[in-house]
Every structure is written in C-alpha cells, then in structure tokens.
Structure 1
Amino acid sequence: MPHPQVLIVGAGPTGLALAAQLTRLGVDTRVIDKHAAPLELTKSAALHARTLEHLRDLGVADRILAEGQRVDVLTLRTSHRDRLSVDFRVLDDTAYPHLVDIPQYRTEQILIDHLTRHGVPLHRSTTLVGLTSTDTEVTATLTTPDGGTETVTPQWVVGCDGAHSTVRDLLGVDFDGTTYSDPWVLCDAVVDWPLPRNEMTFSSDGSGTYGVFPLPGRRRFRLAYTQTSDATGRLVPPTHSDAQAALSRTGIPATIESTDQFWTFNLARKQAASYRAGRVFLAGDAAHVHTPFGGQGLNLGVADAINLGWKLAAVIAGWAPTALLDSYQAERHRIGRQVVRFTHLGAAAMLLRGDPRRHLRDLVLSGLQASMPARQLLAHRLSQLAHSYRGTAGVTGRRGGLHGGDRLPDPTLFDGITHQPQRLHDQLATDRHTLLLAAPKPDPALTTQINRLVDTLARRWPGAVELRLLTPAWQLTQTVRAPVPVLLDRGRSAQKLYDAGAAAFVIRPDRHIGYAGPPEPNRIERYLSAALSRAGAAHRTHPVG
C-alpha cells in the first residue's frame, strides 16, 4: 500500500496492538519494522488487568490466558524478609483480578497471528529513513529488504519504534531524562523455587536487587538482577554460577538448574516532550521509558495504542472532529509522566542498599502491608485500572464516585432470568460510543428522557452511539417506548453506577467515561455535539470481526 491511511513504524507490542485496533475499526494500515523477526530476548513479561481488558477487545486475550502463567501476588522483600505483598485478587471490578506472565515475543506472535488472519502483513527488514509532512498527508521514505528505497504517503504516521526511535529523532522531539548507574542482567531459567507459582518476588539486600517472575512452563522463571561487581568494583560477566550466587539476595533457598542466554542492559527514565507533531505521533517506548518496577512498560504502550487507535479511526471515518486527536497528548502524556515517576520511586527505594534511609523504607513497606486500603490502592494502580483522564479537555462531569475520564468499572451482572453472569464491558460497544443510562427504580420523568434520547440519537448520530439501560428494576423495562437493550442488574453488583440516583454515562470506545452526570437530554446532547461530527456519523467504518 503506497497510500495507507496509517503507517505504523515498529512491530513491537505497541505497534501490533495499534494495528489490530485500527484494522478492527476498518482503517487501512501498514506496519513496518527494521528487524527481520521478533526479538526473543526482551525485558517485558507481565500483562496487567487493564491490558488484558484491551487484548480482550482485540480478540486475543483468551489465547494469552491459555498460554501465559497466572500471577496473583507481587511480594517485595528487603533484607531477606517479606515486607509488602500486593494481592491482585482484591480487584473486584474486572474480569482479570491477576497478572499474566508471558514472554513479550509470545505476546507479539499472538498479535501477529491475529493480524495475519485479518490480512495485515508485516513489512520486515524495512527501515524509515525520511519523514516530511503537510497539512493533508505525510511522506515517508523507506529502505526495503532488497536494499532499494520506497516512498509512501499515509495520512498519519505513528512511531512505535522503541526507546531509540527513528521517528522521534526525525521529528526532533526531545527525549528528556536520566540513565541509572546500575546495569542489569536478564535471563530465563529453570529454577527449583519453593514459593508458589502464582507469586512473583522482587528482593533487595545490601549487595543489590533480584527479581524472580514465574513464566509458562514447568519451573520456568525470568530472573532479573543488578549486575554483580567484584572487590575492585569491576562488573562480573553474568554466568550460571553468578546468577546462583546473586540469588542469595532473596534470602530464599533455591537452585538454578539451567539458564538460557544472558542479556545485560541499562535502565533509564525518559519521556518525549511531545507525543505529537502534526500528523505524526509517538507511542510506547518511543514516547516513554522507565524502570521495570511493577511491570508497567509494555502495558503502558498498549494503552497508548488503544487510546490513539480509536481516535484515529473516528477521525478517518469522519464521525469525530480532527481536534479529537489533540486529546491523545493531553491524556497519555500525563499518564506516562505519572508512571515514570512512580516506577522511579519504587526502583530507587529498592536500590537503597547501604543508605540509612533503607530502614525508613522498610517501615513504610510494613505500614502499607498493615493497611488493606493501601494494598487495594496499590493493586489498582499497578494493574493500571486506576489510570484516569480526569480534568482533561473532552471529558466532563461527575456522578456518584465516578468522574469523566475514569475507566468504567466492569462488574459481573446477574439478571435473575438467564442465570448466566455477564460482564458489563461485554455489553458495550468498542467501535463507537455508548450512552449508558443507569437507574435504581422506575421514574416517569426518566422514561420521558430515555424516549427523547432514543429519538435524538437516531436523528443526529445514527450508528455512532449505542444506547443501553442498566437497572435492577425490571418494571422500568416495561415503560420505555423504544426497544432499548436492557442490562438487568438483579444482584446490584453495578450499584456504584446508580447509587446516587439516575445517571448517564457516555462511554468511549476505550471504556473510559466521556460524560458523567444526570440523564438530562440537553446536557448529553451538548457533550455529543462537541465529541462527534453529525455529518460523519452516517458513513463511519464498521469493525472487522
């Protein structure tokens, strides 16, 4: 395709997730990557709950779950003692109250297989060497596998090409931050490890840190530790015996039976000054890098892709104004900054070694362990379920404890009729907006409002907004004139959405709340008028199955 609608540079998890999202929404996409094949030795392994929700929407979560290793608990140890255990099973508003550990290259391959089934090839051994743009298109110069050059003219370009991003360099965007002094060692290994397979540990003592993360396969683990120095301060090349000796930092008696290839690397914390320059965007490691504390990196990149993907598709289809793309920078740059800061604080605390502040750190960790609310808060933050776009342009309002910009909770609904539990997210659109009306009881005024909204959506935004009614009151379903799909919540597990009375939530395709407030047609119509283009609604694209 010399004229794809979107050119994606980089076929890592971020680029592949973006390609899957855009393809699902009917956008012509081309993906290039300078490497001949996926890189098997990569740092990332952990997929958190929010990422699994995104992968579910892309249609690949079941395969990830079948192949990956479920992890329920993250334990931080210092000086050979458990200090803090974060149990993700406390997450009660998601289908995935856990992590899944799976090597990054396997996540990539699953996404590649998905794209192949939908007719999207990857252009390997293809390098971006030039980039210019106008108000209407971008001109990209590529080197091809045979050594030739090719020019493509996409409408939009997204750089998903990693920490050493060519796209970012060609744009001249600053990548500010610092590099950590401690080099790290990574390898996958077979370990005789006494702790449960559903627990990952990150340990620290006076000589360094050591992470042990379960992988799929019998007694398979990923090991990550600060590189050993000898008595003169010189770095020791990693070997089987070195990895075994460094394992003493955990204080857990274990034996490494065999190791795969070792890899040494340096960590940095950096963030691009801007995620957008005209028709070109940055996502994933091209936009931000940070320490692996809490396994945030790959997850952050996939969330970038989902956020940008639906917005690009909406603009290309004509049912959202181009100004919608400005919100990508506003929303994702702030989240990226928060994650860079959070992971730095966590890693720095674990790397204190002989610093006298380590005693204060241990007291803080023990205090967090003693507080159930604190552990629940950490679980939500590490899982990225807590990421919110509150206060940014394009999201507005509040109802009960939910604000515009928050992720919509995903409770299990029980309707009392079919006896089949269903997740709220599964009942909402992922290719368009959903107007979710929630009500605790029948109300004639609400019925009038619903009927008016049905008429307005059909007239002004046909096909761009779906309507759903959530209620525990079966009587309400008998009073609505139009055939509105009803989500009956007889178990009241979604009570948070209507415990403050009747409410309206405009849910974006990424499951974040655009509008939260009373179900007043005038307010909802004003929000939709700003968010959607009336003229484009009738010729929008439809998702690929």
Structure 2
Amino acid sequence: MHDVVIAGGGPVGLFLAAELALSGCSVVVLERDPEPASPLKALPLGLRGLNAGSAETFHRRGLLEAMAQASGVEPQKLGADPEAVAAPVPREVSHFAGMTLAAADIDTGALPPRLPSPAMEGFMTSLEAAGSVLCARATALGAEIIRSAPVTAVAQDAGSILVTAGGQEYRGRWLVGCDGGRSAVRQLAGFEFVGTEPLFTGYAAKVAFADPGQLPLGFHLTPNGMYLRTPLEGHLGMMDFDGAAFDRSRPPTREHLQTVLRRISGTNVTLNEVHLASSFTDRAMQTTTYRQGRMLLAGDAAHIHSPLGGQGLNLGIGDAVNLGWKLAATVRGWAPEGLLDTYTSERHPVGAAVLDWSRAQVATMKPGPNAPALRRLVHDLMRTTDGTTHVYRQTSGLFHRYDLGGAQALVGRSAPDFRFEDGTRLGELLRRGRAVALDFSTDRALQAAAKGWAGRIHYAAGPARNDLGLTALLIRPDGIVAWTGEPAPDREAFERAAARWLGAPRS
C-alpha cells in the first residue's frame, strides 16, 4: 500500500508527488495519457506563464534554473543583482482584459516587503517544459509514475483508499485528484462543484496565415470579441462570445476558425492551414471543499476558469506546495490536529479570488452597446498608480496572505528571501522541505527551542544583509511566515507557533 495515490501526472500532480517523496512518503502517480509528450503540451498551444510567486516556489526547491533552461529563459535574466540589498522595481506587470500595464506605474512602497532573490520575475514556459522538469524531480525522489492508467473507480474506508485505474487496483492511505478540469476523482467522489456558466468559446490554434500582415501582434479587443497573436510562429488565440455554443460540439476546422477570425477581426484574413486547434470556455467553477475524508483535490480538479491572465498553472502549483508538507506531516504522524483542514481554509479563498479575477476580465471584454464605455473606464482606472499596483499585487503571486492571526505584516505571507552575511539564502534553506527558523539576534535565543523540533525545523543564525528590522522568523515548509520575533525573540511565542504548525516537540 502506498502512502499517497495521485491521479493525474501533469505539473500539479508531479509537483505534489515530488513534495511528498521529499518528505519520505511512498507515492504513485496514475496518469491517463500513455506518453508524457503531446502537441497540446508543447509550444505554442502549451504556452503558459509562471508568475513571480511560482518562480519563487521553484527557487525554494532548487528547480528554478532547470525550469528556466527547459523554458528557453536565461536564468541570469530572472534574478536581481546578487550584491543588491533592496529588491529592484518589478520589470513587468500582467495585463487586465488584454490591457497592458506599465511596471513603472507600480507603487512599490504600497507592497509588503520583499528582498532580492534569484526569482524576481515570472517567465513564459510550456506544459511540456514544466512536465519534463517535474517528472525528473519526482522520479529522482522515488515517486512511481504509471501511464495509460485513467481512474475509473474509487472507494474509501476508515484507513485507506482503493483506486481502480487502467484495469488495475491501487491502494493508498490517501488519494489526491490532480486530474484536470474534468476530474474523474472529483466526479466519482461526488465533490460539489459550483460556479458560473460560460459566455464564450475560446480557441487556441497553430495555423498558417496567407496574409499575416492583416493581424498585428498582441491582444485586440473588437466589437465582436478578441483575437491574439503572439511572436510564436502561427500562434492564434480567439474569444467568440457565443455563449460557449461551439465548445467541444465538433472539431474546430479551418473553415470554422477562418469564419470566426474574420468576424472578430473585421478583416478578410485567410488561413491556409490549421496544424492544431483546441477550444475552451470561461466556465468558472470551484469545489466547495478540497477534502472529503481521505480524498483531496488540487489544481484544475478543484477549480476551473478562463485562461485570461495566465493564473491556472500558478494556482495549481500554489495548491501543491501548500498541500504537500501538510499531507506528508499527516502521513508521518506528527501533524497537529486540524493541519490538513487548513489546506482548504487557506487555498479555497485564493482559488475563489482567481475565479472572480477571471470573471471580471470576461465581463470587461464582452461585446455590447455599453462595452466601449466600460472598457474606457476600466482602462483609465487600471492605468493609475493604484490600479497598476493592484493588478501587480493580484497577479504576481507574491502578496496574498493567509489568515494565520497576528498583526505583524509578514505573518501569513511568502517570506522575503533573507540572505545571511555568508551568502546563504532562505530559498536554499527551504530545499529540504522543512520549516526554517531564522535567528538574526546575537543571543541565539531560539536555538535551544528549535532543538525540540529536530528534523522538522532547520535552525539558521547570524546577521542578515537586510533583516527588515526583524530579529527572528519561523517559516513553514511552503515558505510562508508563521511567526516573527518583535522586538526580540520570545521563546514561548516561538514554541507556540512551532507547535501549531509542526506538532508536538520531540521528547
């Protein structure tokens, strides 16, 4: 029997498998597809954006350089000046409803503190690149990956889960569905899935244009919808506000795509050939809970929405890094009571916010007689300093806050990448998937206390290049600040925070 069975071998399932294996859990991943490679995962249709928060997560597990290399990005272009003490101004900011924004308009003083890091910016990747890096990571750590194994039945009792996949049975103590928007686990387990119905059919295609000059690069909102051309050869995206009538009703042929494109663009552009095409919608749905007994959901299995703003992959990676250490702690027997339930209480609001962000963009882009006025208003608001800063805060993946209690501004947030004077970074200390206690004080007040959680807490002490005025921090395995010592480390407060997240100390 495995500790954890994961349904779905995409980036979210593979990241979760690696997190669990890193903590010593036995893991099997059941993947429906027979091969890891697929034209839909490669560029251009597999194009995805990693935001800065996801880049930071990969940095904390020692995967940033491999992800950048697989994505064709030079790692040195991501990070800050290695000698910098303060974080640089962001170089990029996401768009809202196709409206591009200028990073120079961000008010960095209105953002929570951040420090220089190798992961200062997001970058473009593909499902193929992310899958290859994470598959190598999971298998190197001992996770087993079985392909051609679609899940067809699940049954749970008090102590285990029986999963039928690919005609075989697999038993585990826990099951996590990471099997996408049409999740078999979600449906078989009867999770409630609620939300809003779609307004458009979207298309992603690789085509050959007879006259590409008629369609300039970038996002283009028109009275009939939206089209997008990227620098990737033949890459075409469209949104047709047909109430999602076409989606998956029949294959998107060349003739159909050309008709839709001509109507949306207002041109007589010709498509010579369609090499590959798929459709999608803006249906925005979320399960009411991410856990039922011994079954959990992560990624698109738990929430679906339109790809506007490129939040889907990032949301799933955030689920996986939040769930991984909590489920591992439960498996290993040291999790404090209620720890696993914090996965839903922390991640569900983040998912709901992303769904609303997607809905707001769709509403802004929907054609109609009042649409131009609404777009002008939203455009003007977004171009203000407050508006641009808000978009960056919502989309960078760096600044959401879990409600962990306490007034200190960093508690519940992703920790800045503190750097000791010897050059060691927090991100490097998190690579083993354990909590980290940072002690910048001169009396090493927390060292004796941290010994009570040997094997669960990595204690590191010394002066930092920039301690942000703090004396000590406790950082969870997912990089979230659980406690800060102000104005001086308080051993009892530290021990209470450690017990809350890491269970009882060792005797």
Q: 1:368 maps to what in 2?
A: 382
1:26-60 superposed Cα distances (whole Å, 9 cap, x missing partner): 21100002221244315651111111222233443
The equivalent of 2:155 in structure 1 is 132
Aligned partner of 2:219 among 198, 202, 214: 202
The alignment partner of 1:260 has SS state of strand
Counterpart position of 1:50: 53
- The yes-or-no answer on 1:456 pairing with 2:449 is yes
Please name the residue that 2:301 is paired with. Answer: 286
The answer as to whether partners of 1:44 and 1:295 remain within 8 angstroms in 2 is no
Give 1:246 deviation, angstroms.
Answer: 3.0
Q: Could you tell me whether the CA contact under 8 Å between 1:8 and 1:160 is conserved in 2? A: yes
Identify the residue that residue 39 of structure 2 maps to in structure 1: 40
Match of residue 354 from structure 1: 368
Corresponding position of 1:441 = none
Q: How far did 1:515 drift?
A: 1.9
Change over 3 Å in CA distance of 1:185–1:88 after alignment to 2: farther
Could you say if the C-alpha distance between residues 487 and 364 of structure 1 is closer, same or farther in structure 2, counting changes exceeding 3 Å? same
Alignment of 1:61-80 (within 5 A): 61-68=64-71, 72=92, 74-75=94-95
Of 362, 377, 383, which residue of structure 1 is paired with 2:390? 377
Q: Look up the match of 1:11.
A: 9
* Larger Rg, first or second structure (1 or 2): 1
- Asked if residue 161 in structure 1 is aligned to residue 176 in structure 2, the reply is no
Contact 1:397–1:516 at 8 Å: present in 2 too?
no
Give the aligned partner of residue 417 of structure 2.
410
Distance in 1 of aligned mates of 2:123 and 2:258: 24
- SS of the aligned residue for 1:220 comes to coil
CA deviation vs aligned residue, 1:483-531 (integer Å, no higher than 9, x gap): x3x2531xx4x53xx1xxx443210011111123422111111222232
Contact 2:105 2:384 in 1 (8 A): no
CA–CA distance in 2 between the matches of 1:235 and 1:328?
Answer: 38
Q: Hey, what's the Cα distance between the residues in 2 that align with 1:113 and 1:44? A: 20
State the match for 2:261 in structure 1: 246
Whether the 8 Å CA contact 1:175–1:271 is kept in 2: the answer is: yes
Corresponding residue for residue 318 of structure 2: 303
TM-fit CA distance, 1:143: 3.2
- Offset at residue 312 of structure 1 (A): 1.2
Q: Is this contact kept in 2: 1:178–1:270, CA < 8 A?
A: yes
User: Counterpart of 1:396?
Assistant: 405
CA contact (8 A) 2:56 2:120 kept: no
Shift of residue 190 of structure 1?
A: 7.2
1:470-492 per-position Cα deviation (integer Å, ceiling 9, x unaligned):
xxxxxxxxxxxxxx3x2531xx4
The residue aligned with 1:328 is 343
Contact 1:10 1:162 in 2 (8 A): yes
- Code of the residue aligned with 1:19 in structure 2: it is A
CA contact (8 A) 1:183 1:267 kept: yes
Alignment of 1:111-130 (within 5 A): 111-130=134-153
* Kept after mapping to 2: 8 A contact 1:77/1:203: no
8 Å contact kept, 1:206–1:354: yes
CA displacement 1:130-178 (0-9 Å, x = unmatched): 222233222223333xxxx32x321111011111111111221111123
Match of 2:497 in 1: 527
SS in 2 for 1:153: strand
Aligned to 1:481: none
The structure 2 residue matched to 1:172, chosen from 179, 190, 194, is: 190
Unaligned stretches of 5+ in structure 2? 74-90, 109-113
Q: How far apart, in 2, do the equivalents of 1:131 and 1:15 lie?
A: 17
Any conservation in 2 of the 1:75–1:202 contact (CA below 8 Å)?
A: no
- Aligned residues of 2:218 and 2:228 also touching (Cα < 8 A): yes
- Residues 120, 236 of structure 1: alpha-carbon distance in 2 compared, 3 angstrom cutoff: closer
Secondary structure of the structure 2 residue equivalent to 1:396: coil
Shift of 1:76: 5.8
Deviations 1:264-292 (A, max 9, x none): 23331000111001111011111000111
What TM-score, normalized to structure 2? Answer: 0.81
Change (3 A) 1:228 1:128: closer
* Shift in alpha-carbon separation, 1:367–1:130, aligned structure 2, 3 A: closer
Is 1:513–2:506 an aligned residue pair? no
AA paired with 2:477?
P
Matching of residues 205-284 of structure 1 within 5 Å:
205-214=222-231, 219-220=232-233, 222-227=235-240, 237-239=252-254, 242=257, 246=261, 260-284=275-299
Partners of 2:271 and 2:184 lie apart in 1 by: 39
Structure 2 distance, partners of 1:414, 1:250, is 54
Query: Aligned ranges for residues 464-475 of structure 1 at < 5 Å?
Result: 464-468=456-460
- What is the CA–CA distance in structure 2 between the aligned matches of 1:89 and 1:28, rounded to whole Å? 48
Asked whether the 8 Å contact 2:435–2:475 carries over to 1, the reply is yes
SS of corresponding position for 1:510: coil
In structure 1, the partner of 2:464 is 488
Q: Could you tell me whether the CA contact under 8 Å between 1:20 and 1:58 is conserved in 2?
A: no
> Relative to structure 1, is the Cα distance of residues 466 and 346 closer, same or farther in structure 2, using a 3 angstrom cutoff?
same
Higher strand residue share: 1
Q: Secondary structure at the match of 1:180?
A: coil
Distance 2:265 2:396 in 1: 24
Q: Whole-Å Cα distance in 2 between the matches of residues 65 and 248 of structure 1?
A: 38
CA distance in 2, matches of 1:212, 1:98: 23
Match of 1:475 in 2: none
Find the partner of 1:95 among 102, 108, 118.
118
- Whether the 8 Å CA contact 2:61–2:432 is kept in 1: the answer is no
SS at match of 1:397: coil
Distance 2:153 2:360 in 1: 38
> Could you tell me which amino acid in structure 2 is paired with residue 165 of structure 1?
S
Q: Secondary structure, in 3 states, of the residue corresponding to 1:375?
A: helix
Count, aligned residues: 468
CA contact (8 A) 2:70 2:133 kept: no
Comparing 513-522 and 339-348, the one that deviates more: 513-522
Task: For structure 1, list consecutive stretches of 5 or more residues without a partner in the other structure.
Answer: 439-445, 469-483, 539-545
Measured in 2, the distance between the counterparts of 1:527 and 1:360 equals: 47
Instruction: After TM superposition, give the deviation of residue 467 of structure 1 in Å.
Output: 2.4
For 2:88, the equivalent position in structure 1 comes to none
Q: Which amino acid aligns with 1:435?
A: A
| Compared CA separation, residues 88 and 342, structure 1 to 2 (3 A) | farther
Q: Secondary structure at the match of 2:343?
A: helix
- How far apart, in 2, do the equivalents of 1:520 and 1:207 lie? 61
What SS class does the counterpart of residue 316 from structure 2 fall into? helix
SS at match of 2:276: coil
Aligned residue type for 2:223 = G
Share of identical aligned residues, percent? Answer: 28
Deviation of 1:360 after TM superposition, in Å, equals 2.9
